[in-house]
Amino acid sequence: MLKRLLLLGFVLSFGCAMLLAAPAKRIISLSPSLTKNLQYLGDEQELVGCTSYCKTTRKVNVVATAVKVNVEKVVSLKPDLVVASSMTPPETVAQLKKFGIQVVMFPMPKSYAEICAQFRQLSRLVGREAVADKVLQSVQQRIDRVKARKADGRKIFIQLGVDPLFAVIPNTFLNDYISLAGGRNIAEGMTSGSITREAVLLKNPSVIFIVTMGNIDREEKQRWEKFSNLEAVRKKKVIVIDSNMACVPTPVTFAETLEVMMKALR
């Protein structure tokens, strides 16, 4: 009996290894950024499920909100790969794995380099390494062109929230927008993004980027523009940026955001 169990275990392990080695053909994405990456890899046709926040070019089964996953629906779609972010609850991941579903987690990247590394990892899972190489080569060329026109150390504030006010801090991929553009983050040295408006005024940034927050962005822009002594206001450098571009960690959207910021810094 023991030998049979050991043999069964070996067969199952071997079968899993074979499954892991083959490119995924039925994929469920539990993150909008991962769905975008699958699109950039030319693999959207393999997508059988996604979240209600994912934007696809064809109709795909919705199996989750931002954090709540319909496990029963996921299982019924018989995916050979589920890709998830840190937004997916660990207990949900554990449930899916109990059903024998391969789940690969992609934590929030802390840098542009990590964004690229995760893109490569995803490309290996779906058998699109050659496509990934071309995408990343194109993106790097765009990044290099931006780096060639650096911002000469201008002080930059990227605002993520209003009430409370939040700033982009070091050790995040959003901070790389500032460093690659040659700017200085007014939040350097901070370990928490919480910041007061008074603190921002004291640091007197040359440029303020407001990440789109629904209809609040225009109000927030107008609020900053009331401070006529603020350098960013004097230079007319209070700029709104779409969060669907700036906050989505994919190589392509990273390059797009950096180019928009660099154009504003001229």
Domain ranges for the chain, please list them: 22-107, 142-265
Rounded to an integer, what distance in angstroms lies between the CA atom of residue 218 and that of residue 10? Answer: 61
Torsion of CA 16, 18, 24, 30, to 10 degrees: 20
Rounded to an integer, what distance in angstroms lies between the CA atom of residue 191 and that of residue 125? Answer: 34
| pLDDT at position 11 | 35
Q: Which CATH number fits domain 142-265: 3.40.50.1370, 3.40.605.10, 3.30.565.10, 3.40.50.1980?
A: 3.40.50.1980
Query: Please, what CATH class does the domain formed by 22-107 belong to?
Result: alpha beta
Same fold, 22-107 and 142-265: yes
pLDDT single digits (tens) 210-241: 997 667 888 899 999 999 999 999 999 999 99
Number of H helices, E strands in the chain: 12, 10
Mean pLDDT per block of 10 residues along the chain (266 residues) reads: 34 38 90 97 96 95 94 97 96 96 96 98 96 98 88 90 91 96 93 95 96 80 95 95 94 96 87
Within a 10 A sphere around the Cβ of 131, how many other Cβ atoms? 15
| pLDDT at position 10 | 33
H or E segment and range at residue 149: none
